[in-house]
Structures are given as structure tokens and as C-alpha cells.
Amino acid sequence: MASVRRRFVPLTVLGVALAWAPAPALAGEAPEVAQAQPAPASDPRDARIRDLEEKMQALTDELASLRTQVAVPEDRELKSEYGLGPAASRIYGVPRGLSIGGYAEGFYTNYVGDKTRSDRDRSDALRLVLYTGYKFTERILFNGEIEFEHGTTSATESSSGGSVSVEFANLDFMLTDWANARVGMVLMPVGFVNEIHEPPFFYGVARPEVERRIIPTTWREMGAGFFGRIGEWGEYRAYVTTGLNARGFRPSGMRDGRQSGNRAFAEDVAFVGRVDLTPLEGLSVGGSFYHGNAGQDVSVDVTGFGNVGLPSTPVTLWELHSEYEWEGLHLRGLFSMAHIGDAGALTAALRPNRLGGIGEIGASDVIGSDLLGTYGELAYDLLHWLSPGSSMSLSPFVRYEYLDSQYDVPQGFEKNGANLARVLTTGLSFKPHPNVVLKTDYRQFDLGSGEQADEVNFGFGLAF
């Protein structure tokens, strides 16, 4: 608004100048002749009037341009910066002031094959997200994400309420190209999807299972650290954060151990780091590493045993990933493993309340000491071949996943085959605009034991 006021000041000055500009002198003796004779071309008054008219026209054109920019902002290409999603990176391209972006996604799922009475077809307004950023100076900026999940926070007859959450909230200090500081609630730089989870930029209606159950996305913690670029061919991020809370660990994985900045315990902290390299055009390779205790000095009340403290529970998670894009071809692969120390003692501490005794723990209750997940993905944009130069894309894809949250269990315990899953996803993504996507896919689940219904999914997504 200040910039608009600055533009109206010259208009005011111009109006005053025109109002006070002296009228042409008239000869008293022969007014008819004076009116009939044109002023000399070199008259300074005419030059001044022409100059004022040119300035008036320039100001009119600038005001028209300003109105257009406010109503229809410049359509800049969304581009990922420092590992964040393209829409989440808008603030880095703003010279000063406020930046607003966001994304949304929804889906419909039809369960087929191995369907049980509890598998009801469903539709969900999964997420509506707003990014808000503010650049105070060229070197100090804030970037945040507010997420609305499942349409409403109120419970309905169909389900419990959704939620409103802060997904990340970073205060960045841009020092140099290779070393910048960040503090706040940070997205853990692990895997492909945890940082770049905007729906137009991953294949499939749902995020990969490996990047939900082995890598517990969306994973964010309070922390601080550094990030930057490594020359022209790489980038890194490294943070010290609050650790996980082992009380939330389950046989299915560590997902419920995320603290998400909600009055997070900080008795145990963790380190997470990531490096990505681009040795060839279109090829990216990298990896990440996480380590920290998760005990958080937490105790649980065990019937018959009183207050039992959780073990220190050291957690180590690492993953390697690679991506290649050429012409319309897209290839992606990821391999991840996690190790939970003290998994046997943690299982004994967490499970007896339900089972009635420390010695009565079944395979379905055992927290795995090792977790493993891997997947490979292939896609090809048919319109790159059929309609070269088109901004639209039509990409069939296939993704195969293998994951096991009980890849290994503590000595003396048994595995539950239901925690081993092979997931084959085949589908189609159509982008009528680079930031808008319509998706459909078929997900087939093959468990180590038991059954899980297959899914036919339809979804939409957008980012801005």
C-alpha cells in the first residue's frame, strides 16, 4: 500500500502544477489577432506543458500496470530451493515483504479384493495448505506452512475431526551461498517426500508407503542448523533437533513417535544431515542420516510393577536415494533402514498394560529392532513425445515397494508377518498445467501374512 501512495504523490504535484501554470498573455489592444497567431514553437511554456503531459501519461501507464499486478500477479515458474517444495520456495524469489503460496489435494478410494467389512470406500478433502513467508531484508526471512487436514476439525458421524497444524516454521539467515542458518520447526531432510510433499510433484494419489511407515513423514521437529549449496553441483542441510518420543513407537513403525513441535520433550536431542549431488545433468544422488535417543526420560505406569522408565532407546535411520530425469523419462529409487536400540526393553515397558504381564508379549506387539524399506519408480510423459513443447503432461507410472517394520526383532521375540508388505502401484498422472494434477492409480498389497484390500484411487492436487 505504501508503494501505491508513493505513486499518487506525483499525480497531486502534477495537478497543482497544471492549476497554477500561467495562462498565455493576451494583448489588450488586439485580442482577436493574439488568438489567431500560434505561439512560437520555441515557447518554453509549450515545452513545459508537453513535459507535464508526458509525465501524466507515464504515471497513468504505471498505475494501470500496478492494478494489473495486484489483480493478476506475475506467473513465475515454481522452483525448489534448498530442498523445499516448489510452492514452499516462493519466498526465496521475493525481493522484500510478504509471500503467499499453498497446495491442496483430495481423493476417492474404492477398496477391491480382500475387502473386509471395515474397508469402506471413502473420499477425503485430505489437505489444504497455506504457505506464508516474509522477507525482512535480503538476509533475514521467515517461511511457514499451515495445514488443514480432512475438511474440518469437528467430528462427524463418519469420522473423528481433522486437524490444523504448523507443518514447518523456519527463520532463515542468508549468510553466504554455501552456509546459511535456520532455526524453528524444521522439516527433517530425509527421503524424497518429507520435504517436497506437494501433490503435483510426486506420482500416485498417496505418498509412498516406505516414506510413511519407515521414514515417518511428514516429520518435523524443533531445531536449528545450517544449509547451503556445495558449488554448482550439490547442496546440504544439517540440524540439531528434538529427538523422537519412544512412547509412540509401534510394531508398525516410529511414526507416532514424532513430536511435531507440540510442547516437545527435549531431554534427548538428535542430529540429522543430508547431502545431494548432481554429477550429471538430470541425475541426482544423495543420502541422509539421523541419530538420537528417544527415551526422553519418560515413564509409564505398568500394572503390578509401578512406574517404569523407558530405556534410552537410541534410534539410527539412514537412507540413500537417486533420481534421473531425461526428456520425458523419470526414474526414482530409495533404500532406507532404521535401527531401534533397546527395542526389547521398550516392548516390555510399553506392552504389559494391555497384555497383563511383562512375559506375555505376542508377535503383533513387538517393536522391531531393525526396519527396512525400499522402492523403485518409473514414469514417462507421453505428451513429451506426442506433443513436444506442450506445457501439459500425461505420465503413466509404476512403483514397487518393499517394507518391513519388523525386519529384525529383539532376541526371544517373534515377528508378525503382517508388518511385511509388498506394494505395487500403477497409475496415470495428467497435468493440464505444470502446477495442477489429476491422478488415478491401482495399489495392490501383498503381506507376509494376512490380507489387505487393494485400492483403486482417484485424486487431484495443485500448488501455487
What CATH number corresponds to the domain at position 324?
Answer: 2.40.160.10
Residue 249 has pLDDT above 60, yes or no: yes
User: 3-class DSSP state for residue 458?
Assistant: strand
Q: Are residues 102 and 236 in the same domain?
A: yes
Domain membership flag for residue 251? yes
How far is it, in rounded angstroms, from Cα 188 to Cα 322? 18
Domain membership flag for residue 186? yes
CA 207-211-212 angle, to 5 degrees, is 80
Dig out the grid coordinates for 204 from the structure. 500416485
Domain membership flag for residue 135? yes
Whole-number pLDDT of residue 275: 98
Q: Are residues 114 and 67 in the same domain?
A: no
How far is it, in rounded angstroms, from Cα 285 to Cα 234? 9
DSSP summary character for residue 267: S
Q: Are residues 113 and 59 in the same domain?
A: no
Domain membership flag for residue 35? no
Q: Are residues 326 and 413 in the same domain?
A: yes
Residue 437 has pLDDT above 50, yes or no: yes
Q: Residue 431 is inside which H or E element, if any?
A: strand 420-433
Domain membership flag for residue 9? yes
pLDDT digit string (tens) for 348-365?
Answer: 888 754 444 444 556 678
Q: Are residues 203 and 142 in the same domain?
A: yes
Domain membership flag for residue 400? yes
Contact 409, 348 (CB under 8 A): no
Cis check for the bond before 218: say yes or no (omega within 30 of 0).
Answer: yes
Q: Are residues 310 and 449 in the same domain?
A: yes
How far is it, in rounded angstroms, from Cα 121 to Cα 124? 10
Whole-number pLDDT of residue 175: 97
β-strand pairing of 393-408 with 180-187? unpaired
pLDDT digit string (tens) for 176-223?
Answer: 999 999 999 999 999 999 999 999 999 999 999 999 999 999 999 999
Dig out the grid coordinates for 446 from the structure. 501383498
Whole-number pLDDT of residue 44: 78
Average pLDDT, stretch 281-303?
Answer: 92
How far is it, in rounded angstroms, from Cα 309 to Cα 178? 43
| Residues sharing a CB contact under 8 Å with residue 287, sequence separation 6 or more, in sequence order | 274, 275, 318, 319, 320, 321
Q: Are residues 193 and 125 in the same domain?
A: yes
DSSP summary character for residue 459: E
Q: Are residues 266 and 146 in the same domain?
A: yes
β-strand pairing of 97-112 with 122-135? antiparallel
The number of domains in the chain is 2
Q: Are residues 176 and 63 in the same domain?
A: no
Q: How many residues in total does the chain contain? A: 464
pTM surpassing 0.85?
no
Domain membership flag for residue 39? no
Domain interval for residue 297: 91-463
Dig out the grid coordinates for 288 from the structure. 541422509
Please report, as a single letter, which amino acid is at residue 21: A
Last residue of a domain, one of 71, 105, 125: 71
Q: Are residues 98 and 169 in the same domain?
A: yes
pLDDT digit string (tens) for 66-112?
Answer: 555 555 555 667 999 999 999 999 999 999 999 999 999 999 999 99
Q: Are residues 454 and 374 in the same domain?
A: yes
pLDDT digit string (tens) for 395-430?
Answer: 999 999 999 999 999 998 999 999 999 999 999 999
Domain membership flag for residue 421? yes
Q: Are residues 182 and 311 in the same domain?
A: yes
